[in-house]
A and B are shown apart, each in its own frame.
Chain A
Amino acid sequence: EVQLLESGGDLVQPGGSLRLSCAVSGLTFSSHAMAWVRQAPGKGLEWVSAITGSGGSTYYADSVKGRFTISRDNSKNTLYLQMNGLRVEDTALYYCAKDERLNAFYGLLDYWGQGTLVTVSS
């Protein structure tokens, strides 16, 4: 059974940093691209970032480019999102999701975690 478990969400002040983790089990982690998708309270889904299976290519939404960094440790079956320069508008539930295709980022997200809450407030 494929499982994705996010952690690391917290209350942080504007300008602060946070690192999210997503532990994955039940699949060959290194074979699949992964993504982060967020959802602000009461709002829709917003894609944040993605990374290929090897970690060799990364992609970002314009809203987080230059502030967030996605990475992965395939030896630990774990996906990360380093968030710097946090803004109030980054407040959201952050989901990690698995790409259906192998290796490249295809964008079809077939498994999702339950999310971790990031609150940016002074």
Chain B
Amino acid sequence: EIVMTQSPATLSVSPGESATLSCRASQSVSSSLAWYQQKPGQAPRLLIYGASTRATGIPARFSGSGSGTEFTLTISSLHSEDFAVYYCQPYNNWPPGVTFGQGTKVQIK
């Protein structure tokens, strides 16, 4: 089973600033890495897939990078609606299954 480790657990950022979230996989997942955003009381929403491709309707201030075992989600110029928990998740695994990172909470500083 692939273990995903996200850091930091909590990130305090002021609106307008940028945020950098990290995700590390216990073994290579190539570029098969997704990021999800979850706001309080809402379902998760797909943000990024293929490590760097934004999902439909996701603003350009969200960008992803990395491959193999090290990945980064960057949110430039944080808006109020961006304060949420972000999860990374590898896909296209064998045997089939899904594991999520423990999440990074981005909160208002």
Chain A residues at the B interface, C-beta cutoff of 8 Å: 35, 37, 44-47, 50, 57, 59, 61, 95, 100, 105-115
Contacts and interface: CB of A to CB of B under 8 A. Distances in A.
A107 B98 contact: yes
18 contacts: A35-B98, A44-B85, A44-B87, A45-B44, A45-B103, A57-B96, A61-B97, A100-B49, A107-B90, A107-B92, A107-B96, A107-B98, A108-B32, A109-B34, A109-B44, A110-B55, A111-B46, A113-B43
A35 B97 CA distance: 10
A59 B44 contact: no
The interface residues of chain A, by DSSP majority, are classed as strand
Nearest to A95: B43
Interface of B: 32, 34, 36, 38, 42-46, 49, 55, 85, 87, 89-93, 95-103
Nearest to A33: B96
